[in-house]
A and B are shown apart, each in its own frame.
Chain A
Amino acid sequence: MSLLAPLFLLGLLGLAVPIIVHLTERQRRNVVDFPSLMFLRKIPFRSTQRRRIHHWALLSIRALALALLVAAFARPFLANTEVAIGSTLGPREVVVVLDRSYSLGYGNRWDRAKNQARQVFQGLDASDRASLVFMGRGAEALLRATSDRDRLLAALDTASLSADGTLYGPALKLAQTILEESQFPNREAVIISDFQRTGWKGDEGVTFPPGTVVTPVLISDDATPNATVASVTLRRDFFSGQERMTATARVVRRGGDAPADRTIMLEVDGQEVQTQFVRLDPTGSATVTFEPFTLSDLYTRGSIRLGSDALAQDNELHFVLSPGRAMRTLVLEGATPRPDASLYLRTTLEISEEESFQVDVRRSTSLSAADLAATDVVVLNDTRFPQGATADRLRGFVEAGGGLLLVLGERSAWQTGLDEFLPGRFGPARDHTRGAARLGYLDYTHPVFELFSGPRSGDFARARFFRSRDLEMGPEGRVLARFDDGSVALAERRLGEGYVLVWTSTMDAFWNDLAVQPVFLPFIHQMMRHLGGYRERVPWFTAGQVLDLADPEGMVFVADRDRELAPDVAQVALTPGGGSVALPATDGPRFLELEEQGFYEIRPPGTNPERPFAVAVNVDVTESELESMDPAELAAAVAPRETSGDLSASGELLTPDLQARNQERRQSLWRLLMVAALVLLLAETAISNWISRAATMRFEDGRSYVQST
Chain B
Amino acid sequence: MAVRERSSFHGADTQFLDPAVLSRIGNLELLARTVVDGFLQGLHRSPHLGMSLEFAEHREYMPGDDIRRIDWRLFARTDRFYVKLFEAETAADFMVVLDISKSMSFGTHTVTKLDYARYLGAALSYFSQKQRDRVGIATFDHEIVDYIPPSTRHLQRILHTLVRAQPGRPGTLRDPLMRLGDNLHHRGIILILSDFYEEPESVIGAVRHLRARGHDVIVFHLLDPAELDFTYESAASFRDLESGTMVPIVPDELGDEYRALLAQHTAELERLFTGSRIDYTVLDTSKPLDYALFRYLSSREQMARVR
Q: Which residues of A contact B (CB under 8 A)?
A: 25-28, 30-43, 46-47, 49-50, 695, 698-699, 702-703, 705-707, 709
Contact = CB atoms under 8 A, between A and B. Distances in A.
B253 A49 contact: yes
A179 to B, nearest CB: 69
B52 to A, nearest CB: 44
B246 interface: yes
Closest 10 pairs (CB-CB, A-B): A35-B103, A36-B197, A30-B236, A35-B106, A39-B261, A37-B240, A25-B248, A32-B236, A34-B238, A27-B237
B265 interface: yes
B57 interface: no
Contacts of B253: 46, 49-50
A43 B257 contact: yes
Contact of A695 (B227, B239, B243, B252): B252
A38 B197 contact: yes
Contacts of A46: 249-250, 253-254, 257
Given A50-B248, A50-B250, A703-B231, A40 B262 contact: no
B235 interface: yes
Nearest to A37: B240
Interface core residue of A25, A50, A695 (most chain B CB under 10 Å): A50
A706 B259 contact: yes
B87 interface: no
B235 A27 contact: yes
A27 B248 contact: yes
B247 interface: yes
B187 to A, nearest CB: 32
Nearest to A705: B256
A39 B256 CA distance: 12
Contacts of B252: 695, 698-699, 702
A30 B234 contact: yes
A41 B256 contact: no
B260 to A, nearest CB: 9
B238 A37 contact: yes
A47 B246 CA distance: 11
A26 B250 CA distance: 13
A706 B256 contact: yes
B241 A34 contact: yes
Contacts of A698: 252
Contact of B254 (A30, A31, A40): A40
Given A34-B240, A39-B258, 8 more contacts: A30-B236, A36-B241, A37-B240, A37-B247, A42-B261, A43-B257, A46-B249, A49-B250
Contacts of A702: 252, 255-256
B55 interface: no
A641 to B, nearest CB: 66
Contacts of A25: 237, 246, 248
A30 B249 CA distance: 11
A702 B231 CA distance: 10
Interface of B: 103-104, 106, 113, 195, 197-198, 224, 227, 229-243, 245-250, 252-259, 261-262, 265
A705 B248 CA distance: 24
B243 to A, nearest CB: 8
B167 to A, nearest CB: 10
A31 B229 CA distance: 19
B266 to A, nearest CB: 11
B107 to A, nearest CB: 9
Nearest to A50: B248
A26 B247 CA distance: 9
Contacts of B232: 32
A63 B243 CA distance: 38
Q: Which of B198, B241, B249, B259 has the most CB of A within 10 A?
A: B249
Contacts of B106: 33-35
The winner among B230, B231, B248 for most chain A CB atoms within 10 A is B248
A699 B240 CA distance: 25
A129 B26 CA distance: 104
Q: Which of A27, A30, A33 lies at the interface centre, i.e. has the most chain B CB atoms within 10 A of its CB?
A: A33
12 contacts: A27-B236, A32-B232, A32-B236, A35-B104, A35-B241, A36-B197, A37-B243, A41-B247, A695-B252, A699-B233, A703-B255, A709-B259
B262 A28 contact: no
Nearest to A34: B238
Contacts of B103: 35-36
Contacts of B249: 32, 40, 46, 50
A34 B256 CA distance: 17
Contact of A36 (B229, B240, B250, B254): B240
B166 to A, nearest CB: 16
Contact of A32 (B227, B239, B259): B239
A272 B183 CA distance: 113
A706 B240 contact: no
A618 B244 CA distance: 84
A20 to B, nearest CB: 14
Contacts of A709: 259
Contacts of B239: 31-34
A322 B261 CA distance: 108
A36 B259 contact: no
